[in-house]
Amino acid sequence: MIIESLNLLILLCLAHFVCDFVLQSDRMAVEKSPGRDLTLCWGWWLGAHAATHGFAVALLTGIPILGLLETLLHAIIDWAKIRFRFSLTLDQILHLSCKLTWVFLLLSF
C-alpha cells in the first residue's frame, strides 16, 4: 500500500510539472492574469489551465471528484499568486501539497 501510494505521489508530481511547464503556453501563462488578457478573458485562460491539472489528477487517481477539487484549488492558488504576488517557490509548494493531500485522502479510504 505504501509503495503504491508513493508511486501515485510521484506520478501526480510529474504530471503537475508537465501541466504547469510543458502544456501551459506562454500566452496562457500571461493572459491568465486579470488585465493582461488580450485574446480571451483571463478567467477562461485560468480555468483551462486549472482544468488541465484536474484532468491529470482524475486520470491518475481514477476519481473525477479529486480532479474537480484539483481544478478548483489550482485556480485559487494561481489567482492568489497573481493577486498577492507570491513567489514561484511558494506557488509550487502549495500545488505539490495538494498532490500530497490527495494521496493521504486515498490512503485513509
d(CA 7, CA 72): 24
Domain ranges of the chain: 2-107
Q: Is the pLDDT higher at 109 or at 34?
A: 34
Alpha-carbon distances of 4 from 8, 74, 77, 81, rounded to whole Å:
6, 24, 27, 32
Question: Model confidence over 17-60: pLDDT tens digits?
Answer: 999 999 999 999 999 999 999 999 999 999 999 999 999 999 99
Q: What is the pLDDT of residue 30?
A: 95
Is residue 109 over pLDDT 90?
Answer: no
Q: What is the pLDDT of residue 63?
A: 97
